[in-house]
Chains A and B, each alone.
Chain A
Amino acid sequence: MQMIKNFFLFLGEKFIIFILELGQIAIFFGSSFIRLFQFPWQFQKLMHQIYFIGVKSISVVCLTALFTGMVLGLQGYYTLVQFGSEGLLGSAVAVSLIRELGPVLTAIMIIGRAGSSMAAEMGIMRISDQIDALTTMDIHPKRFLISPKIGASLISFPLLTAIFDVVGICGGYLSGVILLGINPALYIKGMEKTVVMNDVSGGFIKSVVFAIIVSTICLYQGYYTHRRADGFGAKGVSLSTTAAVVISCVTVLIADYVLTSFLL
């Protein structure tokens, strides 16, 4: 009986910690996001972050999108050809990319490229007292460090998702039309008929939500590296970076399911 009681006590304690952490993450995002609109604008820093998060991710996003589209084209062709419906390949590739794969894979690629880097940068700044130094200079660390990164993520994620979708569709075209010989008009027309504005806006909403999730979790993990009980110094930064990547990826997938169920 005591064991069961202890088990529920443990479960309850973990749940309360989880809810408190969730609240802290929400406050972290809110207080940083508001400071994005505080005068004087941090336009230069925002542009710098858009370059780092957005522009520098284009190549990796394009490469991932191209091969994802090509694989979709191949897999889709061999499945559809069994039913004599290979003409639907264009719509199958476009819908799966615009609704699901585009936003999710873009988010995961950005987590790997920019999210981990943001978490590590914040962690190193924390353990080397650089964040405290900002406080002592009366420069708000969240406004100076976090806000531009969140703003840049909110701008970069939807744009990169759009690039992913276009390149992915081209990849599907490459494998379906060029390699496997589907009629190009069928591919394009099928896509035109099936894809509606709701699909595009759904993908856009997802990319914005993923931008909030990824930037907030990665920055939060790095910013509060010093609070970790399981590691200090370089080990703490390494654990924070790992946690940022893992938690962001899992949360993106969970959020994708939740959003899809609302958007469908």
Chain B
Amino acid sequence: MNSLIQFQNVSKSFGSQNVLNQINLEIEKGQITAIIGKSGVGKSVMLKHMIGLLQPDEGTIYLDGMNMSEISGQAAKALRQKFSYMFQNMALFDSMTVYDNIALPLKERKRLKKNVIRDKVIDIGQKLELEDIWHKYPSQISGGMKKRVALARALITDPEIILFDEPTTGLDPIRKHAVFEMISHNQKLFNYTAVIVTHEIPDIFYIAHQVAFLDNAQILFNGPPEDIKRCEIPVVQRFIEPPYMER
């Protein structure tokens, strides 16, 4: 196997709350990995460790075989440019228009010509149905639209690794499927590595190559989605097969 991101005995606490405890996980290159689990168990914390927004208290995170805590300077910069991150709360710049939000990484990072930037932004905007809201500000659009703008911003730089923090929460079923389809389609097309934190079950099982179940600061299951259905751990079972409520 071709491991791109590797968590080795990673622990993280916030005050007295132990969020990650001796976590071991390998994210394969060119695959879609889903991290699932109950709300507040530390899934987003894991993503933030991958991109270096948080540092582990203990353990090591390897990226392409390199210890992330030992990378600095130009190497760290080069590494960061491989990543894109879609935040759970979108983190759109509220003083910029939708167009400027999407174009920002290209303007600041790639320094492309204006017409190239415009073409790229319009292209991704068309795919995500954003054409009518170019000049609007994030506060003037709905939550679902914000989600699509954040997604467009994450995809615009053609990154090698994209970390999605609940990319479909708040979207209607049609757009939810469209987003998953787009992630899957683009992943096959560009062969990027995607890590998705989500609660969308069973939808995520159709596009993910690997699923990790996080609970109680531990990875309780890690494997292909076909296997999770056979997992006998009660909390995993309850999570993936919620009981039907009687009327």
Contact = CB atoms under 8 A, between A and B. Distances in A.
Contacts of B85: 133, 136
B136 interface: no
A139 B93 contact: no
B106 to A, nearest CB: 10
B53 A144 contact: no
A135 interface: yes
A133 B108 contact: no
B105 interface: yes
A135 B89 contact: no
B108 A129 contact: no
Given A129-B91, A130-B91, A136 B53 contact: yes
B31 interface: no
Interface of B: 51, 53, 77, 80-81, 83-85, 87, 89, 91-95, 104-105, 108-109, 111, 157
A119 B131 CA distance: 34
Contact of B109 (A124, A132, A135, A137): A137
B91 A128 contact: yes
A252 to B, nearest CB: 28
27 contacts: A121-B95, A125-B93, A128-B94, A129-B91, A130-B91, A130-B92, A130-B94, A132-B87, A132-B91, A133-B85, A133-B91, A133-B93, A135-B80, A136-B51, A136-B53, A136-B80, A136-B84, A136-B85, A137-B84, A137-B105, A137-B108, A137-B109, A138-B83, A138-B105, A138-B109, A139-B104, A144-B108
Given A130-B91, A130-B93, A139 B83 contact: no
A138 B80 contact: yes
B245 to A, nearest CB: 34
Output the residue of A121, A133, A139 with the most chain B CB within 10 A: A133
Interface of A: 40, 121, 124-125, 128-130, 132-133, 135-139, 144
A129 B89 contact: yes
B204 to A, nearest CB: 22
Nearest to B54: A132
Nearest to A137: B105
B111 A132 contact: no
